[in-house]
A and B are shown apart, each in its own frame.
Chain A
Amino acid sequence: MSKSRTPSITPWLFLAPFLVTFAVFTIYPLSQSFVLSFQQTFGPRSTVPVGFENFRYLFTDPLFWIALKNTTLFTLGSLCVQLPLSLGLALLLNRPELKGRSLFRLIFFAPSLVGLVFVGMIFSLIFEKRTGLLNVVIHSIIPQFPLEFPWLQNYVMLALIIAALWLYVGFNMIYFLAALQNVPGELVESAGIDGAGPWDRFVHVTLPHIMPVAGFVVLLSILGSFQLFELPFVLLGGSGPENRGLTLVMYLYNTGFVTGDLGYASAIGWVLALILASVTIVQRRISRKGEE
């Protein structure tokens, strides 16, 4: 690239909107978040320094552990159900001879446009006892299945995983589909000529090619799942019976904006950030090893 002869102030002027808003609305609150996590607050104004008390309390706080357990369960549950199904749909669609391919893609993708709040609204009615669509349909197929099945009372995690499945399956599918289109077709064909069955061809030819994207989708899903908030918040109107739907971000929200302790909320935020950072580092390590 040739050296630009313009005064070196020009690029900084183009970056000015970012620099100003980033400093005010990200860097400053980020540093405040650190300060706050060593304070107890009553609303935004009155603060009391408490040292490490927030973090010490966090480790004995039963609600924090419930939230962490729920969030982890949801993350693992959705990973195990969502991703194989997303990949499966992508494999089904990845055939040039398939008619109506773009229509199917459109249909599967459509739910990911719906905001979590609105998904929560729709599914809060779908999961209703007796009148809810899900119970009525399952009951009509399997008469032993009770119409009163308490999705939103006793099977909260399962309900959340199902709603998230509907929402995200098509979104992840788009990534897999893009990755599959980069798998050289000749390679798959020549493996077939060499006598490899469909399963062998998938494991030895297709899978290694889509691994980088798969790793990225896994990371994106974990990071997203760990920040789950709106879906249970709207679906259950809060944390649900016995806090069965309490997630980390919901606990942060309740602490900061219902109880009014922005300090303890910030401490929860830092623990969440630490978890997300560790997940990212582990994923990077694994994917780098895979490339070698």
Chain B
Amino acid sequence: MADGSGHHQVVVKPPNIATDIHRESDPLVRAVDRVALSGAAVALASGFVLPFVEFRANRIVEGVSYRTWSVAGVWGWLLLAALAASFAAALLPRGLRGNSLLVCGVGGFAAWLFAAGAAATRLMPTNGSSARVSIAMGAWLIFLGISVVLFQGNQTSTINGGRAMALAVAGGAGVAAWFLGGLQQLSLVYEYQAQSDTIWTLTSNHIVLSLGATAIALVIGIPLGIAASRVTAVRATVIPVAGIIQTVPSLALYGLLIVPLGLLGLPTLGTLPALIALTLYALLPIVRNTYLGVSGVDQAVIDAGRGMGMRRGELLLLVELPLALPLVLEGIRASLIMVIGITAVMAIIGAQTLGTLVFLGWGSIAVDLVLLGALPMVVLSIIADQGMRFLQRAIVSPGILIREGQD
């Protein structure tokens, strides 16, 4: 593997004892990837010991569990082989490790999809009826283990565009398993098909509520943060108050809101109180980071700006805010992800969000329903997180991200 730095110099040069000793003792070269190793080990053990899927002939009878190797045929064994390979890959020297982990992880992911599909196809009676095949504990743990392997592989891979290739292969495997591999036979899919309209409505509600609360918090929070950096009295009130709000549990905060809302004649249940509570939560990271960002600007920079004849507004827009931007964006990211989570809880007070689905599933002991609420939330959080990081790279000046003295 072209690893660029130094290691293969040993091959080119005559044997160099000092260098070899150095290599032996270099932890980066010798150490195994403990994280990937644990992930693969957990997955492998789960694959052998824990149930992979569960079959119920109808809603009333007790489920029957099946293990990976007993139910998924050749795909089950392929899956176990990929997990064993991942385990071995984690032991490889660093130069080979990342790429091997990535390949094994993607292979394992594809095998997992097809194994689940194969198990469902095999167990489901052809006449349909009310029988269900659902993913069981072992399969979830294997999925978790594979995610860990993929994450580690992605971190250390040296293949150009390795991430894109892995994503393409995984996506292709997903489509293939869906149309050819019997993935549609899983209970999760049946449940989704039954509830798809509701899920999409709740997802869009969830997005609107989260984004709306964050947007309002931005409009209020950024000016407040700037004001806090200018006026001591504002800082001394706003920051602690926002901090106190954040420490109040979400339902207690809602409870505190009922009285003023009722006095104003506004609805005390549903979207409006949820939006208000979420906005209050989103406020602290935005206000605090704006305050920290603006007040942290180097005094020499401010002095130079003023000395060159910038007005206050120009100084704020051309100098202070651009320099505070990384912190402000970090605050927005923190708020957004937090709010996506708390929006689910707001289902309790009648806001129609993905949390509604989770609580509904919980109440009726329908695990698939809980998952159909939870999975979209996970996806939303990941999208929000990655989107904000992308935005940071796109709009923050590279001059700020450079470290001192770096060329």
Question: Are A and B bound to each other?
Answer: no
Q: Which residues of B contact A (CB under 8 A)?
A: none
